[in-house]
C-alpha cells in the first residue's frame, strides 16, 4: 500500500474507531471527529490564547494503533515525529532520501487539522555512520544539502523545525563537542538556520535543548548563544526547552552525568522571559515527568506529578510566555524513558488504557487558567 493510501486508511480507521469507542455525538469536535472529553486539551489552545499548540510525539506504528491515533487527534493539535525526521531515517545513505515514514505522520497531521514540529535537522545522535566519513572539503556542502533537501521537501507542511538539537555542553562551558562543531566550527549553528530558512522561509526555526530550562550555566550558555545569533541577524525564531524532568525538577536520566542548573517554576519563568525579550517564541518541546524515583503509593505519586505538569504549564500560560507545549509520548509505556532506566517511569499524561491520568488534568487546568 502506498504512503497516501496507508495514511488515509489510518485517518479513516482512527475516526471510525473514535466513534465506536466514544459514540459520535461526543462533546468535543476536533480533527478526529467526536471525542470523549469536554475541554479536550486542543480546545484550550489557539485563537487569542498565548499557547497556540499542544502536541505529542508519534511514530507510524503508533498511528496504526487506533487508540493512540484517536487520543492523539482528539486531544492535540500538533505532532512531533519522535524519530522519523532524524538524519539516520531521512538520509541513511549520502544523497539518498527516504521520506515515506515521515510522510505518514505528516499526512495524519494534515487529515486531523494538526501542525507538525519537524524534529530534528542537526543532532549529534541518530546520525548514520557515513556522515563521519565525508571528506573535510565536502562536509560543508553535504551538511547544507541534508538540511535544504529535507526542509524543502516538507515546505508548507511542517510549521516549525528543531533546526539544531542539544548544541550546548552539559556543564555550560561553550558548545557541545560534536562532529558539526569539529568539522565546521561554531558557525555551524548559524549555517543550519540560514539553510533551513532558505528552503522554507515560512517555517518557524528553533534551537532545542535539555537541562537549560531554568537557571544555571547551561541555561546561560544557551542564552548567550541565542542572543549572538539574534544580534547577527540569523533567522532564528524560537527556543525549544525540552523539559525532561522528574518531580524534583531534576533531569532524570542524567544521574550519572549531572546536568548543571536548576529549573523550578520561577526559574523557568525568568529564563523564558529573557528569551522572549529577544523577540523569540519559546516552546516546551519534549515534556515528561518521571516518577521512577518517587516512593509511596501511586495516588500520591501521581498527584505530585500532576502538580509538576500543572505548574510548568501554568508558567507557559502566565505572561503569555510560551506558544507551545509538547509532551514526549502519549501513554506511559510509549515513553523513551522506559529504555533509559529499565523501570516504569509513568512519565506521561495517559495510562496504557489511554485513560487520562491526574497529570492530564493538571495540564488541562493550567491551560484553562485554573489551579
Ligand atoms: O530503528 C531501530 C530498529 O531498526 C532497531 O530494531 C531497534 C532496536 O535496536 O532500534 C531502533 O532504533 C531506536 C530508535 O529510537 C528508533 O526507535 C534506537 O535504538 C533508540 O535508541 C532510539 O531512541 C530514541 C532516542 O531519542 C535516541 O537518542 C527515542 O525513541 C527518542 O524518544 C529520543 O528522543 C530524544 C529527542 O530526539 C531529543 N531530545 C532527547 C530525547 C530523548 O533522548
Report which ligand 1 atom has the smallest distance to the Cα of 83: 16
- Cβ atoms of 25 and 34 within 8 Å: the answer is yes
For ligand 1, the distance from its centroid to the CA atom of residue 355, given in whole angstroms, is 25
Report which ligand 1 atom has the smallest distance to the Cα of 242: 39
pLDDT value of residue 319: 83
- Dihedral (C-alpha) 39, 41, 42, 46: value to the nearest 10 degrees? 90
For ligand 1, the distance from its centroid to the CA atom of residue 21, given in whole angstroms, is 31
The SS3 assignment for 173 reads coil
Nearest to 151, CA basis, from 209, 98, 195, 92: 195
Residue 78: φ, ψ to 5°: -150, 145
pLDDT value of residue 31: 59
For ligand 1, the distance from its centroid to the CA atom of residue 83, given in whole angstroms, is 6
Instruction: Return the residue whose CA atom lies nearest to atom 23 of ligand 1.
Output: 336
Does ligand 1 have an atom closer than 6 angstroms to the CB of 242?
yes
Distant-in-sequence, close-in-space partners of 212: CB < 8 Å, separation ≥ 6:
168, 218, 219, 221, 222, 241, 261, 271
Name the H helices within the chain: 3-22, 60-63, 66-75, 87-90, 100-111, 136-153, 179-184, 188-199, 217-231, 265-276, 298-317, 338-341, 358-367
Distant-in-sequence, close-in-space partners of 292: CB < 8 Å, separation ≥ 6:
246, 252, 337, 341, 343, 344, 345, 346
Q: Which of 83, 284, 345 to mutate to test the pocket of ligand 1 (most atoms within 8 A of CB)?
A: 83
Q: How many CB atoms lie within 10 A of CB 71?
A: 27
166 as an active site residue: the answer is yes
pLDDT value of residue 321: 87
- Cβ atoms of 53 and 41 within 8 Å: the answer is no
Q: Please indicate, yes or no, whether the overall pTM of this predicted structure exceeds 0.95.
A: no
Supply 203's cell numbers: 517555517
Instruction: Return the residue whose CA atom lies nearest to atom 28 of ligand 1.
Output: 125
**Nearest-angstrom CA–CA distance, 312 and 242:** 12
pLDDT value of residue 39: 81
Which residues of the chain, if any, have pLDDT below 70? 1-33, 253-258
pLDDT value of residue 246: 93
Paired with 207 in beta bridges are 164, 239
Report which ligand 1 atom has the smallest distance to the Cα of 86: 37
Supply 330's cell numbers: 502519549
For ligand 1, the distance from its centroid to the CA atom of residue 26, given in whole angstroms, is 36
Does ligand 1 have an atom closer than 6 angstroms to the CB of 288?
no
Task: List, for residues 242-251, the tens digit of each pLDDT value.
Answer: 999 999 998 8
pLDDT value of residue 38: 79
**Nearest-angstrom CA–CA distance, 106 and 200:** 16
Supply 223's cell numbers: 542564552
286 as an active site residue: the answer is yes
Q: Which of 126, 251, 257, 287 to mutate to test the pocket of ligand 1 (most atoms within 8 A of CB)?
A: 126
Report which ligand 1 atom has the smallest distance to the Cα of 120: 37
- Cβ atoms of 330 and 56 within 8 Å: the answer is yes
Report which ligand 1 atom has the smallest distance to the Cα of 89: 1
Does ligand 1 have an atom closer than 6 angstroms to the CB of 61?
no
Given 75, 91, 166, 204, which residue is catalytic? 166
- Cβ atoms of 337 and 252 within 8 Å: the answer is yes
Q: How many residues does the chain have?
A: 371
Residue 141: φ, ψ to 5°: -65, -40
pLDDT value of residue 256: 60
Burial of 23 per CB tally in 10 Å (0-12, 13-18, 19+)? exposed
pLDDT value of residue 11: 44
pLDDT value of residue 16: 45
- Cβ atoms of 28 and 35 within 8 Å: the answer is yes
For ligand 1, the distance from its centroid to the CA atom of residue 300, given in whole angstroms, is 31
pLDDT value of residue 35: 83
**Nearest-angstrom CA–CA distance, 10 and 8:** 5
Does ligand 1 have an atom closer than 6 angstroms to the CB of 336?
yes
**Nearest-angstrom CA–CA distance, 29 and 219:** 40
Amino acid at each position: 500500500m502506498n504512503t497516501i493510501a496507508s495514511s488515509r486508511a489510518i485517518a479513516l480507521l482512527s475516526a471510525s474507531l473514535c466513534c465506536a469507542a466514544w459514540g459520535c455525538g461526543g462533546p468535543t469536535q476536533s480533527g478526529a471527529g467526536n471525542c470523549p472529553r469536554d475541554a479536550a486539551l486542543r480546545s484550550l489552545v489557539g485563537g487569542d490564547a498565548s499557547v497556540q499548540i499542544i502536541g505529542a510525539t508519534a511514530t507510524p506504528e503508533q498511528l496504526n494503533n487506533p487508540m493512540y491515533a484517536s487520543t492523539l487527534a482528539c486531544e492535540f493539535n500538533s505532532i512531533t515525529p519522535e524519530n522519523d525526521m532524524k538524519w539516520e531515517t531521512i538520509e541513511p545513505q549520502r544523497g539518498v532520501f527516504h521520506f515515506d515514514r515521515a510522510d505518514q505522520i505528516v499526512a495524519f497531521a494534515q487529515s486531523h487539522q494538526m501542525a507538525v514540529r519537524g524534529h530534528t535537522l542537526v543532532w549529534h545522535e541518530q546520525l548514520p555512520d557515513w556522515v563521519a566519513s565525508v571528506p573535510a572539503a565536502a562536509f560543508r556542502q553535504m551538511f547544507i544539502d541534508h538540511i535544504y533537501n529535507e526542509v524543502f521537501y516538507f515546505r508548507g507542511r511542517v510549521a516549525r523545525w528543531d533546526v539544531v538539537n542539544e548544541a550546548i555542553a552539559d556543564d555550560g562551558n561553550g558548545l557541545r563537542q560534536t562532529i558539526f562543531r569539529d568539522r565546521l566550527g561554531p558557525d555551524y549553528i548559524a549555517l543550519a538556520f540560514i539553510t533551513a530558512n532558505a528552503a522554507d522561509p515560512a517555517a518557524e526555526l528553533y534551537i532545542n535543548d535539555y537541562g537549560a530550562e531554568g537557571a544555571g550555566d547551561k541555561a546561560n550558555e544557551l542564552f548567550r548563544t541565542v542572543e549572538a545569533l539574534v544580534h547577527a541577524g540569523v533567522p532564528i525564531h524560537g527556543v525549544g526547552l525540552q523539559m525532561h524532568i522528574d518531580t524534583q525538577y531534576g533531569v532524570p536520566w542524567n544521574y550519572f552525568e549531572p546536568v548543571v542548573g536548576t529549573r523550578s517554576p520561577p526559574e523557568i519563568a525568568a529564563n523564558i522571559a529573557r528569551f522572549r525579550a529577544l523577540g523569540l517564541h519559546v516552546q516546551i518541546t519534549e515534556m515528561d515527568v518521571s516518577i521512577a524515583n518517587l516512593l509511596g503509593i501511586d495516588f500520591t505519586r501521581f498527584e505530585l506529578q500532576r502538580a509538576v505538569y500543572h505548574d510548568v504549564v501554568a508558567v507557559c500560560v502566565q505572561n503569555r510566555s510560551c506558544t507551545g507545549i509538547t509532551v514526549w509520548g502519549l501513554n506511559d509505556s510509549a515513553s523513551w524513558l522506559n529504555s533509559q532506566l529499565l523501570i516504569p517511569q509513568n512519565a506521561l499524561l495517559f495510562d496504557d488504557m489511554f485513560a487520562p491520568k491526574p497529570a492530564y488534568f493538571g495540564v488541562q487546568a493550567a491551560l484553562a487558567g485554573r489551579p
